Amino acid sequence: MVTTSELGVAAGFLVGEGSFLLRRRGTIAIYATQAEREPLDRLQRMFGGRVIKIPRPDRPNVKQIWQWYMVKGAAGVLMTLYPLMRTWSPKRVGEVLRCLAAWKTSLGRGHAQLVRRECPQGHPYSAGNTYVSRKGHRHCRACGTTQRRRSDARHRRQLRAASRDPRQSDLI
Ligand SMILES: [Zn+2]
């Protein structure tokens, strides 16, 4: 069980040492990097995440550096901590709130897409009528067929117009 005063200490630590990032695909990551491992282990015990050794092959004389990072559950941790961060730094809280707002937006979009059962034209996203592009987006086969027919028809109209009007023959 994490006490309120422990949360306060963690919030103060992250105001000074933490980085908050919104990553692609709309997940949040929290990082804290420093030479002393113990405060990072404490964060891991409280919230989860991982503590790793940061290799510094470029500077062999530098003392060992450690990093705590958290992705899964990071948004929940920030939602818990930002009211406590406010007493230390309104500026850092602004960063956290922007991160959370962007996270909620991307979550909303992704979620709505997954739940949607029909394409914008009302065709069902059934197994037979759906194909998934390399980017992972769903596409409606019925709409794809309609689009191909339309562009074929447009092409045929252009060909007919060109054959009637010799000046347009360079359209072919
Ligand atoms: Zn469709």
User: pLDDT tens digits, the chain, 172 residues: what are they?
Assistant: 678 888 889 999 999 999 988 877 778 899 999 989 999 999 999 999 999 998 777 777 777 899 999 988 888 888 888 888 877 788 888 888 888 888 877 765 555 554 567 788 888 877 778 777 766 667 889 999 999 999 999 999 998 888 887 665 555 5
Q: Taking the domains of the chain in order of start, what are their residue ranges?
A: 4-115, 130-171
**Ligand 1 centroid to residue 110 C-alpha, Å:** 19
Short-list 72, 68, 77, 81, CA closest to 33 = 68
Give the CATH class of 4-115. Answer: alpha beta
Compute the distance between CA of residue 90 and CA of residue 129 in angstroms, rounded to an integer. 51
**Ligand 1 centroid to residue 144 C-alpha, Å:** 7
**Ligand 1 centroid to residue 172 C-alpha, Å:** 30
- Tokens standing for residue 108: 């909303």
